């Protein structure tokens, strides 16, 4: 790893301080980029989960409303049939 390297630097001699600082800056930038990427991925996962939950809830509500409508329509139809049968008798 870059951080574990010797403080003599890659080129030795006069460059040792400069190279160590550059390596440290590169390591910090890479860590920051990694953290940002992980945060973005986590946010995307959260958004996808929320969207899936909302879609499932909407589908369940729509199915329940359709079922309730069919039950009410069936009850009304049975009531009309009963009343028409009673009138004939």
pLDDT digits (tens, 9 = 90+) for 3-13: 544 555 555 55
pLDDT digits (tens, 9 = 90+) for 15-65: 555 567 788 888 999 999 999 999 999 999 999 999 999 999 999 999 999
How much is the pLDDT for 11?
Answer: 52
For 40-79, b where at least 16 C-beta lie within 10 A, e where not — what string? Answer: eeeeeeeeeeeeeeeeeeeeeeeeeeeeeeeeeeeeeeee
Question: Distance between terminal CA atoms of the chain?
Answer: 95
Domain holding 84, by residue range, is 13-88
Overall pTM surpassing 0.85 (yes/no): no
pLDDT digits (tens, 9 = 90+) for 60-82: 999 999 999 999 999 999 988 88
Report how many domains make up the chain: 1
């Amino acid at each position: 790893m870059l951080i574990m390297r010797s403080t003599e630097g890659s080129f030795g001699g006069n460059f040792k301080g400069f190279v160590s600082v550059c390596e440290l800056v590169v390591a910090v930038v890479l860590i920051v980029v990694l953290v940002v990427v992980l945060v973005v991925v986590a946010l995307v996962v959260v958004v996808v989960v929320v969207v899936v939950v909302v879609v499932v809830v909407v589908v369940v509500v729509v199915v329940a409303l359709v079922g309730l409508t069919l039950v009410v329509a069936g009850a009304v139809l049975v009531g009309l049939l009963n009343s028409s049968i009673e009138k004939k008798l």
